Chain A
Amino acid sequence: MYTAKVTRKVIYHVLVVIFGFIMIYPVLWMIAGSFKDNSEILRGSLSLIPKAVKASNYSTGWKGFAGTSFARFFLNSFIITVVATLGTVISSSLVAYAFCRINFKGRKFWFTCMLATMMLPSQVIMIPSFLIWYRIGLADSYVPLILPYYCGQAFFIYQMMQFMKGIPRELDEAATIDGCSKYTIYTNIILPLLKPSIVTTVIIQFYWKWDDYMGPLLYLSKPESYTASLAIKMFADAASKTDYGAMFAMSTLSLVPVFLIFLIFNRYLVEGIGTSGLKG
């Protein structure tokens, strides 16, 4: 009986690990590819260990295109992502607080509008938005890529509201008796308790924005303002033969910030999910 249980446990873990390995294999293969020679990549080698480590892929790739190096592309991505993520957190938490805690006229109406935007396909908005930004003369700037993120993101407002519902209203009442206004309740009570939800927002919004391709593709036309994702695509577009090694090297680098954010906050992500449960 005991051994059967142990065997089953071992089988479970082995299967989960093997399947997980297959899941992340493409990513590992890319990292390995960043140290491989072009010919080895093109042969479709399964191996995760390069025959001869070719670290020069990184220096070649880093040079970038048309005199703009990847230092610039990464900096651009970083600025857009950090500023937009910050905007999402601030604005979404403000709006979630209004919808969840304040009983104002028109709340139902605006809440319905928010649900509608959640289900609205972005393509419908894409073309006219572009034309409007173009007409204002801001099409070739970071403004269209950042400003909307300071107006609350429906998906995150909704997630934060779900979390906020779990914060007892008695805390608000106690704070009111202690002299808090509705503004200071937000800063002193809600915001600190919202931390797990904020962390989840930061992780998801960070990698959505970092990986975003369509936005920069539409709005950025000058190579020096390109983001990393646009620049990486240029490897594949090059008129001459694609330098796969360099492309994978820069691709690998481009995933580092996403992984770092995930590794740093992963613990909180799970915590955030845990507290939204019944036991929380």
Chain B
Amino acid sequence: MAEKAEKTSAFSRFMNSNQTVGYVFAFPFIFGFICFSFIPIVTSFYYSFTDYSMGSKTLTYVGFKNFLQLFSDDVFIKSLGITIKYVLLSVPLKLAFALLVAFVLTRKSNMVTLYRSLYYVPSLVGGSVAVALVWKQLFARKGLINVVLADMGLKTVNWFGDQKLALYPLILMTVWQFGSSMIIFAAGLKEIPVTYYEAARIDGANGPQTFARITLPCLSPIILYNLVMQTIQAFMSFTQAFVITQGGPNNGTMLYALNVYNQAFKYNHMGYACAMSWFMLIVMSIITLVIFKTSRFWVFSEGGED
């Protein structure tokens, strides 16, 4: 051993120290964080106070003008409202479905794996342009949904022609993709010790009671995780609205991300678009903070969150 230690050169000792190893392995992240997150964020912050547009040689500092303009921009205000409506409807519904299906599919059966794959399919393909185009066709004027409504003797609906209705097919499409949350819930359900359920049964608890008193509290850290991730994801939804409705009719489906994209790349208002995305960052930070702060009251974390 002593002989070996002597052979260890200063170089190899340096290479094997925790500091070096840590930074060698963490290097990809640190490099990426600085180049692809930190610098762009700072740049975005800087641009949000300018009238920057692509191709222009000059760049004027405009102070808070971009931010003030947001509140007199009708499209912006409308898009903010629509996005909030979209998030408030789609996220809870999606999580409720995910939890329900995950719960129903915890039974011990060889078929469960197959069923779970079946229910995962929409998540697997839902983000694609292909499925967005199918969705557009399903809800078209003479589309399948209207054919079914007509067959049932109901009035057909011009889904994408009415600004009050156009958002609902998009919400339905988001809820339809509950598979990835379901998988995470399913993993969480497996971790609840069987003894808890046995104890509850001995105490005479019925199904709903067991669900409310054991399943939900034990899953609460996972519900929190899914809630935060899905809320952020919903705020960023873009492809569906871009492919299916282009934000129309009358900006009835102008989701926030689409609005930012339009301002930046359609109208070349880069400075303004940066201000919009910063506003979004602030709003989302507040929402995330509120979710975390209130989680103290409903997240049960005796076993520690992992």
Interface residues of A (CB under 8 A from B): 12-13, 16-17, 20, 23-24, 26-27, 29-30, 33, 41-46, 91, 94-95, 97-99, 102-107, 110, 113-114, 117-132, 134, 148, 150-152, 157, 162, 165, 181-183, 186, 204, 207-208, 210-214, 217-218, 229-230, 232-233, 235-236, 244, 247-248, 250-252, 254-255, 258-259, 262, 266, 269-270, 273-274, 276-279
Contacts and interface: CB of A to CB of B under 8 A. Distances in A.
A218 B68 CA distance: 28
A217 B36 CA distance: 18
Nearest to B118: A20
A6 B229 CA distance: 40
Given A127-B273, A151-B31, A254 B130 contact: yes
Closest 10 pairs (CB-CB, A-B): A151-B32, A104-B22, A251-B130, A98-B25, A128-B43, A128-B40, A98-B26, A91-B28, A211-B128, A152-B29
Interface residues of B, number: 92
Nearest to B270: A127
Interface in B260-287: 260-261, 264-265, 270, 273-274, 277-278, 280-281, 284
- Looking at A12, A46, A125, A218, which has the most chain B CB atoms within 10 Å of its CB? A125
B37 to A, nearest CB: 5
Given A29-B138, A129-B36, A16 B115 contact: yes
A14 to B, nearest CB: 12
B25 A266 contact: no
B43 A131 contact: yes
Contacts of B39: 128, 132
B28 A183 contact: no
B14 interface: no
A248 B134 contact: yes
Interface in B166-186: 176, 180, 183, 186
B165 interface: no
Contact of B124 (A150, A152, A259): A259
A124 B281 contact: yes
5 contacts: A16-B105, A24-B121, A26-B134, A150-B32, A210-B128
B281 A120 contact: yes
Contacts of A233: 129, 133, 243
A105 B215 CA distance: 39
Interface stretch (B73-81, B86-94, B144-152, B199-207): B144-152
Contacts of B133: 232-233, 235-236, 247-248, 251
Contact of A30 (B130, B143, B235, B288): B130
A95 B280 contact: no
B137 A119 contact: no
A270 B306 CA distance: 19
A118 B33 CA distance: 11
B128 A254 contact: yes
Given A128-B44, A129-B36, A278 B119 contact: no
Contact of A29 (B16, B19, B117, B134): B134
Contacts of B129: 211, 213, 229-230, 232-233, 251
B135 interface: yes
Given A183-B21, A266-B117, A211 B232 contact: no
B297 to A, nearest CB: 21
A165 B144 contact: no
A104 B18 contact: yes
Contact of A151 (B18, B36, B264): B36
Nearest to A227: B129
Contact of B243 (A121, A129, A236): A236
B82 interface: no
Contacts of A151: 28-29, 31-33, 35-36
A31 to B, nearest CB: 10
B118 A23 contact: yes
A127 B274 contact: yes
Nearest to B22: A104
Interface in B220-238: 228-229, 232, 235-236, 238
Nearest to B126: A211
B54 A262 contact: no
B172 to A, nearest CB: 11
Contact of B284 (A13, A121, A128, A212): A121
B125 A211 contact: yes
Given A124-B41, A183-B21, 16 more contacts: A44-B144, A46-B144, A99-B26, A117-B33, A119-B232, A123-B277, A127-B264, A131-B54, A151-B28, A186-B25, A210-B128, A213-B239, A213-B242, A233-B133, A262-B117, A276-B187
